[in-house]
Amino acid sequence: MTALNKSIEPGDSPDLTEERASGTFDTNAMAAVIYGSDKFAQRRREISEAISKIPELADSAPLPFLDRFGKVTEGSRKLSVILENIDKLIDPSSYEEGLHLYTEVMGMEGHPLALHEVMFIPALIAQASDEQQVKWLGRARRREIIGCYAQTEMGHGSNLRALETTATYSPETQEFILHSPTITSLKWWPGALGKSANWAVVVANLIIRDKNYGPHPFMVQLRDEDSHEPLPGITVGDIGPKMAFNGGDNGFLGFRNYRIPREYLLNRHAKVEADGRYVKPPHAKINHSAMIRVRSHMATGQGALLAHALVIAVRYSAVRRQGYLEDKSREVKVLDYQTQQHRLFPSIARAYAFIFCGFETIRLYDQLLIDVQNGNTSGMADLHALTSGLKSVVTYQTGEGIEQARMACGGHGYSMASYISEIYGVAIGGCTYEGENMVMLLQLGRYLVKSIEMIQNGKSRELGPMVAYLAENESEIDLNLGPNEYLKVFEYAARNQTWRATEKFQKLRNSGMSNEKAWNQASVELTRASRLHTRLYIMSTFINHVGSIVDQKVKGVLIDLLNVHVTYEVMDIGIYVQGLLSSNQMDLIRNQLYVSLETIRPNAVSLVDSFQISDMQLRSVLGRRDGNVYENLFKWAKSSPLNKTDVLPSVTQYLKPMMEKSKL
Ligand SMILES: CCCCCCCCCC/C=C\C/C=C/C(=O)SCCNC(=O)CCNC(=O)[C@H](O)C(C)(C)COP(=O)(O)OP(=O)(O)OC[C@H]1O[C@@H](n2cnc3c(N)ncnc32)[C@H](O)[C@@H]1OP(=O)(O)O
Ligand SMILES: Cc1cc2nc3c(=O)[nH]c(=O)nc-3n(C[C@H](O)[C@H](O)[C@H](O)COP(=O)(O)OP(=O)(O)OC[C@H]3O[C@@H](n4cnc5c(N)ncnc54)[C@H](O)[C@@H]3O)c2cc1C
């Protein structure tokens, strides 16, 4: 049975039952808030139920016991079972239902269709012309072909202008000739490229009559559709094991004068005519749309990863007993320690905040896609700046939160039985992919500097709503702090830091330094401004979202969680608000934080239960819904391949002779 309201079932650990009984709200109602609607939350439960009825969809062994080859094979096996049963499991036309199905069955370690769904199809939707979509989109959606997104090269990922792969137009044959001129030009990292994909959207420099028009997306067939062998002129393979995602085949790819037809340039926005005439796109960065899309989805994606770790750590902390508080007759649940609450509860608040914030950026991206299809690219710069900052802050804070969750589980957190290290490895990949965090914070930094320059030039009224606060002035704050006063505190911090960083940059530049050098010397301060600005945005969307909730019990507990969030976040940026808040006010906020931790305590398990992540999806012995951790930990250890025999061949071959020899 998957998660029910309060989720209490016979055989559950009494400790978790006690926690669920103390919850003040309906976890199904909270799930409806988390997943955007009651209907979708309900569908998730139904899909999980349907999955549990098909035993072949379960992992054939705990994934941590599989080697790389086993993980890749297991992913393909489960994928084929999914596809055989797809109509019984989901509405195949629903992207969200598909995502839930894949997340639950395939897990987070990567699989052959991950990039197909997340980047390849979206790149075709955003960048292929109607004619090209007729040719490829249906085939991709039916999974007749498997695609990936091949942009990054061994030598360059961040600086796209320095990519080396070329696509040279030949007007005589009306073809592009793809070529990898150096080792560093090999495509390197794209997910599913190594062994699974037979097609790719390849980003290469478009060259027409010796002129470089910069990176453009091309549709490229990599492998024969019957034999799956690489086509002549293509060198492709797997880049080897990684920190996580080892069920995935991130790959390398090289071209040796490989020809594709002129019609294979994805030409919704930029075109090359038969005679080699280039038709410019309406915006120089329009080819980056697949990246903007993923960045827009990353806040919810990372919020979900943080949620996984918190479900594990909070449930486990309610069954783990160690040490004493007042009652010396029974050891206390470690969740009752203030330090444990301080370690975990602000992260619960962040997970909720990231998910709510992601709703907003996904909505903004969907709107942008419509606008761009209608020729209006005016929203691109704003969304680029917003999502650049957001992906950087949420990935970093998610990593921090997951690592704290691991430590909060003590020794067992370090075991793969907790599965937290896998979640950590997957999540912090996000600090790097879709734009390295520092690089992306500096993209937002450019936008903030431009906003300050507008204010300096008397154009404050032209500022967008997200940066309007930069032109305001706040020097005092009410002692009676509520969420909106905390927003003001954050605005103060972000505004001061943005002005300070911009003025530093301008001063250096005005002293005669080059623009680039001045930028570099102000860059740490600029990234600080970007982080504060982004954290302000997260806080403000959290406050707005909670304000819109109808169910009063759900709203009540989310207000409690919001109190944890605002007090924790302000304490965390104390250094930036010293000019605004007195030490008395800081003490007051600190005390409010401690009170809010106590207020949340009875709802902690219900708050993580509300994510409704099934045991199958969680893959964690420590985080089991029933809380029966210890007997299952022992079972898990016994299932280790090392325990198949009592005496290992390595002992017979090496250790025994060594010990025998020592006896002589
Ligand atoms: C859908 C479900 C999702 C679920 C969750 C996600 C789970 C995903 C799991 C999959 C795992 C991994 C997938 C990973 C995939 C990848 O990593 S794909 C490769 C990604 N690569 C990058 O992100 C590269 C980073 N670099 C860049 O993006 C750009 O090079 C960079 C923005 C840093 C700079 O670009 P330049 O072209 O050099 O531009 P620059 O000169 O600096 O700026 C000029 C000007 O243009 C503005 N600009 C830049 N980009 C954009 C844009 N996209 N839109 C609008 N405007 C843009 C820039 O701000 C400048 O403006 P200004 O006015 O002149 O200041
Ligand atoms: C798990 C994973 C999956 C991926 N999947 C894909 C995929 O499907 N398709 C694909 O094309 N790519 C993929 N990538 C590649 C990824 O997008 C790049 O690794 C990423 O964009 C970072 O680029 P880089 O590796 O060149 O880092 P680098 O730019 O080399 O970063 C190294 C350091 O230099 C710093 N730095 C670089 N430029 C600047 C600057 N201008 N100012 C200040 N500091 C700077 C960075 O901050 C960082 O500290 C994936 C990567 C990972 C880890």
Q: Which atom of ligand 2 is nearest to the CA of 193?
A: 8
Position 289 scores a pLDDT of 85
Position 572 scores a pLDDT of 97
Mean pLDDT of 397-404: 98
Rounded Cα gap, residues 624 and 615, in angstroms: 6
Position 6 scores a pLDDT of 56
Residue ranges of alpha helices (H) inside 376-436 are 380-408, 410-414, 420-429
Position 427 scores a pLDDT of 98
Rounded Cα gap, residues 133 and 127, in angstroms: 9
Convert the pLDDT of each residue in 197-226 to its tens digit.
999 999 999 999 999 999 999 999 999 999
Rounded Cα gap, residues 83 and 86, in angstroms: 5
Q: What are phi and psi of 279, to 5 degrees?
A: -105, 115
Contact 111, 248 (CB under 8 A): yes
Sequence spans of domains, the chain: 32-109, 143-281, 290-458+490-608
Contact 102, 192 (CB under 8 A): no
**CB of residue 191 inside a 6 A radius of ligand 2:** yes
**CB of residue 118 inside a 6 A radius of ligand 1:** yes
Given 117, 434, 491, 569, which residue is catalytic? 434
pLDDT grade for 33, boundaries at 50, 70 and 90:
very high
Position 368 scores a pLDDT of 93
Convert the pLDDT of each residue in 470-494 to its tens digit.
999 877 777 577 888 999 999 999 9
What is the DSSP secondary-structure string of 459-506? -GGGS-TTTGGGG-------SS--HHHHHHHHHHHHHHHHHHHHHHHH
Rounded Cα gap, residues 371 and 366, in angstroms: 9
Ligand 1 centroid, distance to 433 Cα (angstroms): 10
Rounded Cα gap, residues 96 and 502, in angstroms: 41
% of the chain at pLDDT higher than 70: 98
**CB of residue 294 inside a 6 A radius of ligand 2:** no
Rounded Cα gap, residues 330 and 663, in angstroms: 49
Instruction: Tally DSSP H helices, then E strands, for the chain.
Output: 24, 11
**Higher-scoring residue by pLDDT: 95, 358:** 358
Helix (H, G, I), strand (E, B) or coil at 365: helix
Mean pLDDT of 146-152: 98
**CB of residue 248 inside a 6 A radius of ligand 2:** no
Ligand 1 centroid, distance to 381 Cα (angstroms): 11
CATH superfamily name and code, 290-458+490-608: Butyryl-CoA Dehydrogenase, subunit A, domain 3 (1.20.140.10)
Q: Whose CA is nearest to atom 49 of ligand 1?
A: 285
**CB of residue 114 inside a 6 A radius of ligand 2:** no
Ligand 2 centroid, distance to 173 Cα (angstroms): 36
On average, the pLDDT of the chain sits at 96
Q: Is the pLDDT of residue 2 over 70?
A: no
Q: Which ligand is nearest to the CA of 196?
A: 2
- Name 111's Cβ contacts closer than 8 Å, sequence gap at least 6: 75, 76, 78, 79, 102, 192, 247, 248
What is the CATH topology of the domain spanning 143-281? Butyryl-CoA Dehydrogenase, subunit A; domain 2 (2.40.110)
Mean pLDDT of 578-604: 96
Please name every residue paired with 259 in a beta bridge, in sequence order, or none if there are none: 177
The CATH class that applies to domain 32-109 reads mainly alpha
Q: Which ligand is nearest to the CA of 239?
A: 2
Position 479 scores a pLDDT of 59
Q: Is the pLDDT of residue 1 over 70?
A: no
Q: Copy the structure tokens of residue 223.
A: 């492998």
pLDDT grade for 502, boundaries at 50, 70 and 90:
very high
* Catalytic residue flag (residue 434): yes
191 is in an annotated binding site: yes
* Least trusted range by pLDDT, from 86-100, 427-441, 611-625: 86-100
With residue 303 as reference, give the H or E element that holds it: helix 289-319
ipTM of the complex: 0.97
Convert the pLDDT of each residue in 528-538 to its tens digit.
999 999 999 99
Top mutation candidate among 111, 117, 160, 432 for ligand 1, by most atoms within 8 Å of CB: 160
Top mutation candidate among 113, 121, 189, 196 for ligand 2, by most atoms within 8 Å of CB: 189
